[in-house]
Amino acid sequence: MPVPGKILALIAALFITVGTTSVRAAGFDISVVFGGGLTTSQQSVFSQAESFWESLITGYQPGITLSGITIQASGVPIDGNGQILGQAGPTSGVFQQGFGIATQGVMQFDTADLGVLETAGLLDEVIIHEMAHVMGFGTLWELNGLSAPGSGQYTGQNALDIYRLEFDPLATFIPVELDGGEGTADGHWDEGWAGTANELMTGFLNVPAFISATTVASFQDLGYTTIDLVVAVPLPASALLLLAGLGCLGGVRFTARRRNHRAAKHPSSVA
């Protein structure tokens, strides 16, 4: 995970080792539990993100006896307009078959910023992006031995194999972002990687955004099974429509901090 060692230790402490059998749970289900502070339209965006990821992640690797993850989602007062937009990350999990897998997580967004994100057409992208972090993208890389902090290299075999097919046949690693400060560095694909800056899981939001086959395959390195892809996945149509007029906006910084998602250095870029 792209956070200091003390934080990683806290995350590891939230995971318990569970004995498994040869039976594998069928399917994969994201259960979003709404805790208040979200409008009906905002809840709908969470549901769309849930369906999006469920269409790509099909279950778990053999021997893992889980069926999905529960995410508590809510709108809460945090720090007013701008600055911290929300908080997202895994809150508990298990070790099975050599994987540290999230079983529960939280996604909280500042009520002062939700409307701004929704009006700007950025809420879809932010929620899809943050939901990936709850499931382990960036947040559980170190725990699963996929990327060492400060190395700038992701070496998970499944994602690397697809990266070679999709972008760079000679690659020995996938470039990881080292800029952007704590929370952005070590938890995203590098902005200058071969997959282009428009890939949603880089550290900065650029539009139109897409999810690469490499990103999907990276979830196999985290203990999931996925559909087989060798091409990029477009975001939901509603998100693309909302983003149609946003080409002039500055890049919005993403963070993979376990608890914090901060705004861009210039919050006016999403106003």
Domain assignment present for residue 10? The answer is no
First to last CA, the chain: 30
At 88 the pLDDT is: 83
Give the number of other CB atoms < 10 A from CB of residue 201: 23
Q: Which helix (H) or strand (E) holds 261?
A: strand 261-262
At 17 the pLDDT is: 52
Domain assignment present for residue 92? The answer is yes
Lowest mean pLDDT across 8-22, 38-52, 104-118: 8-22
User: Is pLDDT above 90 for 248?
Assistant: no
Domain assignment present for residue 223? The answer is yes
Domain assignment present for residue 187? The answer is yes
Number of domains within the chain: 1
Confidence of residue 26 (pLDDT cuts 50, 70, 90): low
Orientation of helix 111-120 relative to helix 40-56, angle to 10°: 70
pLDDT-above-90 percentage for the chain: 58
Please report, for residues 72, 73, 113, 146, 236, the alpha-carbon distance to residue 38 in angstroms, rounded to integers and kept in the order given.
Answer: 12, 9, 11, 35, 20
User: How many angstroms separate the CA atoms of 98 and 194, rounded?
Assistant: 30
User: Is pLDDT above 50 for 29?
Assistant: yes
Note whether 105 and 90 are within 8 A (CB). yes
Domain assignment present for residue 18? The answer is no
- Please count the CA atoms within 13 angstroms of the CA of 48 that sit on its side-chain side: 19
- Measured at the alpha carbon of residue 253, what is the angle toward residues 250 and 255, in degrees to the nearest 5? 170
Domain assignment present for residue 270? The answer is no
User: How many angstroms separate the CA atoms of 97 and 65, rounded?
Assistant: 10
Note whether 222 and 101 are within 8 A (CB). yes
Domain assignment present for residue 262? The answer is no
DSSP string, 146-195: S--TTS-EE--HHHHHHHHHHT-TT-SSEEB---SSBTTBTSSB-TTSTT
Confidence of residue 205 (pLDDT cuts 50, 70, 90): confident
Q: What is the CATH number of the domain that holds 206?
A: 3.90.132.10
Domain assignment present for residue 258? The answer is no
Domain ranges, residue 184 = 29-234
Reported for 6-10, long-range contacts at CB under 8 A and 24+ positions apart, including other chains, are 7/258, 8/142, 8/143
- Chain segment 150-166, per-residue pLDDT in tens: 999 999 999 999 999 99
Give the distance, in angstroms, between the CA of residue 146 and the centroid of all CA atoms in the same chain.
15
